[in-house]
Amino acid sequence: MITAPFNFVPLNEKVFYPDWSEQVSHDIPFSDGESGVIDITITAKSPMFIRNHYQEGDKFYTDKEGNKISKEFCHIKNSDGSKQYYLPASSLKGMVRSTLEIISYGKIIIDNDKHSQYLSVRDMTNKTLVATSQKCGFLVKQNNNYIIQDCGKVLTISYNEIKKANGEWLKDIENVKTKYNKIKDIFIKFKKDKKIMNVRGKKIPKQIAIYSNISENIGQLVFTNKINNKKNEFIFKENGNELELNKNILLNFKKVYFEDENSEIGQYWKGKNKIPIFYTTNQQGKITAIGLTQIFKLAYNKTILEASVQDIEDGRLDLPETILGVKADEGRGLKGRVYFSHFKSNIIKFEKKQKEVEQVLGSPKPTYYPSYITQTDTRGDIVNRYITLMDENATIRGFKQYPLQSKIQSYKLPINDKGEINHDVTSKFKPLDSGIVFTGKIRFHNLKKSEIGALISAITLHGQNKTHFHNIGMAKSLGYGKIKIDITLSDRLIYSKEEYLNTFEELMNSWDKKDYQNWIEASRILEFFSMKDSTKEREFRYQQLENEQGQNDFVGAKKSKEYLLPYSGSPIQKSKSTQLQQAKKNNKVTPPKVEVKRKLSRGKIRIVKKASEK
């Protein structure tokens, strides 16, 4: 089973747009608008850390780019040298906004520039996600089109033979550019020979090239980057054939190599007129893909942005944007009507020495489809077939969250080639202890009753703040940053906390009856609240590149057809409308109707279900 310290609240395809968002004004108040203050008390229920902007006198470490990075928690320095620790307003606002986006069926925030790029994949555990080529040639621009000058079957040449011809030993060189710079002449005389290869106990003859100064065959040396214990490079020799190339295949090639600035080999060949490529063909001999290595990457058919499918209406504001504002460059600009103060701690100065923590805080990449892509073709806790960004119906899992953990996790630090701790990939920080209290205020102006309810719901996790906690800051994946939030409403507000919460709930219930009987009953809402339930904390650890048995957890999980189950352990139920469509498609009877009565009492939610036959 895949374990991870994060999980997902399923993506809502339908977005809720409040019908009053167009009337929001900072000059003309709503007839039912209210302004007021919410006093906030935050208690750290675990150690926590939010990094200070580096200032002289801070304890710091230097990253691999030479930047000084503070190890200390956010603070201001008093005139007597003491430190006043605080939670930045931006951190609290970000936490509240991300919660509000989930509970109000808002838009998911996607980095358009980053996630509109087509990702590439070379996955040896999945034959559909890697290309293994036995043919090669040169990609050449001809008029306005590109063709491949064919070189036939791939021919390898050992480093020993290259040294005989050029006197240079290339085996230990990492990248392509250095190899080409080191070789004086990339053209080499050679003859073909046969070598017997032992492949899984079978002896298979393989054609190779060896250096021969008297041969009439002249080929071009082609280099690729160093991988593992690589022993060979390649020789390309044109055979006079020209092959047509589909434009889509060329576009995919450019996406993988030229648009990816991190691709060393792609950036080396970008802009050159004659590029050595490897290619694969189908049964009809048509080229299906090209790459710059023999086992090469493929471009995914969809981007992360395209897989984050939501019913977005241009120019319309969702509830978080209506309340908290939105930048003008994201569409219609609107200033928020809620203002967060910094939240100062009750600790002015630490008398004791703070413990320093060093851990790896990186997270897996979105390309790890068993965790990040919604898996629908499942059988229990395994898949029949993985859905990936190659599939037309691929969608991202949704809003990433870090469920509460029962204790602070600590991982073995990575070791470099010298047998020392690899500090280049770790982070160092000095967390504050649990039990520390922070206080501050949230002020709001001209909010409607339901908007105040939505704000209180996001802050208190819908009135469940005695048992349900937020988490904030760095290292949430290790169990840091768990906080309890208590609120006090200002006397000038008209209604009670419960009345505001009920109004927000009624707003969500009146929005779309097709997808759920009651908002609080919706599976994605229950899934979110379950991750914030402090009475059900669990321990979730990252998968390891090398576990105690020396195995790679990520590769092992894919070989076993595992996927990241929802936090609840059960697949998220589809919406009622989706269930009905599927039932009609399969000519099945619709499931029993469920009547739900919801009671909100003293900030706790009780759900009473009564099943009845339709």
- Nearest alpha carbon to residue 241 among 352, 384, 140, 162: 140
Does position 15 have pLDDT exceeding 50, yes or no? yes
d(CA 480, CA 472): 8
Phi and psi torsions of 486, nearest 5° = -115, 145
| Number of neighbours of residue 111 by Cβ within 10 angstroms | 9
pLDDT single digits (tens) 467-515:
999 999 999 999 999 999 999 999 889 999 999 999 999 999 998 766 6
Residue whose token pair is 């306005």: 144
pLDDT single digits (tens) 304-357:
999 998 988 888 999 999 999 988 765 567 899 999 999 999 876 655 567 889
Residue whose token pair is 């990248």: 175
The model scores a pTM over 0.85: no
pLDDT single digits (tens) 577-592:
334 334 434 444 333 3
According to the model, what pLDDT value does residue 602 have? 32
pLDDT single digits (tens) 180-231:
999 888 999 999 998 887 766 778 788 899 999 999 999 999 999 888 788 8
Q: How far is CA 178 from CA 132, 172, 211, 379, 584, in A?
A: 25, 11, 22, 49, 62
- Nearest alpha carbon to residue 12 among 318, 402, 303: 318
> Which tokens hold the place of 565?
């189950």
Say which residue, 569 or 292, is predicted with more confidence.
292
Does position 172 have pLDDT exceeding 80, yes or no? yes
d(CA 303, CA 300): 7
- Nearest alpha carbon to residue 412 among 540, 555, 546, 556: 546
- Nearest alpha carbon to residue 536 among 567, 578, 505: 567
Chain mean pLDDT for the chain: 86
